[in-house]
Amino acid sequence: MIRHQLSISQDPREPGFVQDPYSFYADMHRISPVFFWEDYGMWCVAGYDQVNALLRDRRLGRENRWGAPLNPVEGRGHLADFDRLESGSLLEREPPAHTRLRTLVNRAFVSRSVERLRPRVSALANELIDALPAGEPFDLLPSFATPIPLTVICELLGVPVHRADDLLSWSHAMCEMYVPQRSRETEERANTASAAFGAYLTAHIAEHRHTGADDLLSALIAVRDTGEKLDDDELISTCVLLLNAGHEATVHQTGNAVKTILDQGGDPGRFFVTPEATAATVEETLRYDAPLHMFTRYAYEEIDLGPVRLKPSEQVALLLGAANRDPAAFEAPHDFRPGRADQKNVSFGAGLHFCIGAPLARLELQESLSVLFSRRPALATKATPRYRNSYHFHGLESLMVE
């Protein structure tokens, strides 16, 4: 319901919005690309140019310099373990801490390092397709979309893949903290998961430091042991961030991409005839139906958003999914057009906090989708896919195919 030009009430859990946030975005592009979203209690920006600029604006940042927001009734004592992991995460830090932490892990995720993983991703995709049930419907998310990024990030980091079920459970519980108007039970589950995740990694690191393995975790442990650039809390937080971010968004995007491609009808193989076509198709799936729709920033000084001036300590929500469908930035934004000349999606963010795993995610999507549609060209949805009721992380509940 639109109350006046700048203040909007739209429940992000309302079923129609969950299944199609793009109609809401289209309204906001037409009415006011900068608006106050009452259900979140913060100003939001939907226009592509402004979102892209604000992602790069150093007057904004992820680091909360005023202390974690308190639960007005109960405080935050019940979130101590969750807050401990969050506070050491490079995603929540600004320079110089962010620069120091990102430099330590960046080498493993640059394009030339990631490219070496392409044969492994292709082999994994083929193994999983070999194991798919024949002649009966199956859910593509747990059987194909999830194992690939989860296995790859575990192997890259140096964490046993056989603990995947625990890692998934902990990750899902922690990500629920970003759902609006979350319950006390949700917070307690997230804190319990954080404590268990931290305890597991602490024990694993103590064992792993003596193995001499050639992986990212061993490199980080070596840095930690010098006592100069990484402390224990930061090491644990960095591992949690990489494990969570290394699979969560890619799983969602794989499901979203398969749905999008199947929705086009015809032979899906036409989108993957060359490596260049495959890369262009992946980029368009990222623009068309991104896995992350909202990324927040704190204002460190006054910032003019046009209709309002943001004050220091206020948060602003940058709507990535809306920016990717801005008619002022993209021709026919609601059409799926691989290879479009105006491809410039912001699905991985931009600026200082540009997703460190973007090269890995792109490679995983390119290989997994091209193998899937090469091996299963007649794949079809068995039931209408529905999106999970979790606005920030935009992904499907399941993807039943046959």
* Per-residue pLDDT tens digits for 262-289: 999 999 999 999 999 999 999 999 999 9
Tokens 């007005």 belong to 72
Residue 174 belongs to a domain: yes
* Per-residue pLDDT tens digits for 22-44: 999 999 999 999 999 999 999 99
180 vs 329, which has greater pLDDT?
329
Residue 1 belongs to a domain: no
Residue 251 belongs to a domain: yes
Residue 99 belongs to a domain: yes
Residue type, 149: P
Residue 196 belongs to a domain: yes
* Per-residue pLDDT tens digits for 146-160: 999 999 999 999 999
What is the pTM assigned to this prediction?
0.93
CA gap 174, 178 in Å, rounded: 8
pLDDT score recorded for residue 3: 40
Contact 372, 261 (CB under 8 A): no
pLDDT grade, residue 111 (50/70/90)? confident
* Per-residue pLDDT tens digits for 119-138: 999 999 999 999 998 889 99
pLDDT grade, residue 69 (50/70/90)? low
What is the count of structural domains for the chain?
1
pLDDT score recorded for residue 311: 95
Q: What is the 3-state secondary structure (H, E, C) of the chain?
A: CECCCCEECCCCCCHHHHHCHHHHHHHHHHHCCEEEECCCCEEEECCHHHHHHHHHCCCEECCCCCCCCCCCCCCCHHHHHHHHHHHCCHHHCCCCHHHHHHHHHHHHHCHHHHHHHHHHHHHHHHHHHHCCCCCCCEEHHHHHHCHHHHHHHHHHHCCCHHHHHHHHHHHHHHHHHHCCCCCHHHHHHHHHHHHHHHHHHHHHHHHHCCCCCCCHHHHHHHHHHHCCCCCHHHHHHHHHHHHHHCCHHHHHHHHHHHHHHHHCCCCHHHHHCCHHHHHHHHHHHHHHCCCECEEEEEECCCEECCCCEECCCCEEEEEHHHHCCCCCCCCCCCCCCCCCCCCCCCCCCCHHHCCCCHHHHHHHHHHHHHHHHHHCCCCCECCCCCECCCCCECCECCCEEC
* CATH number for position 186: 1.10.630.10
Of 53-62, 89-98, 174-183, give the range with the top mean pLDDT. 53-62
pLDDT grade, residue 4 (50/70/90)? very low
As given in the structure block, the two tokens for residue 6 are 């700048």
* Per-residue pLDDT tens digits for 213-267: 888 999 899 888 887 788 888 999 999 999 888 888 999 999 999 999 999 999 9
Residue 53 belongs to a domain: yes
Residue 334 belongs to a domain: yes
Q: Give the domain range for residue 126.
A: 7-401
Residue 2 belongs to a domain: no
Report in angstroms the alpha-carbon separations of 145 from 56, 65, 108, 126, 304.
31, 37, 22, 12, 41
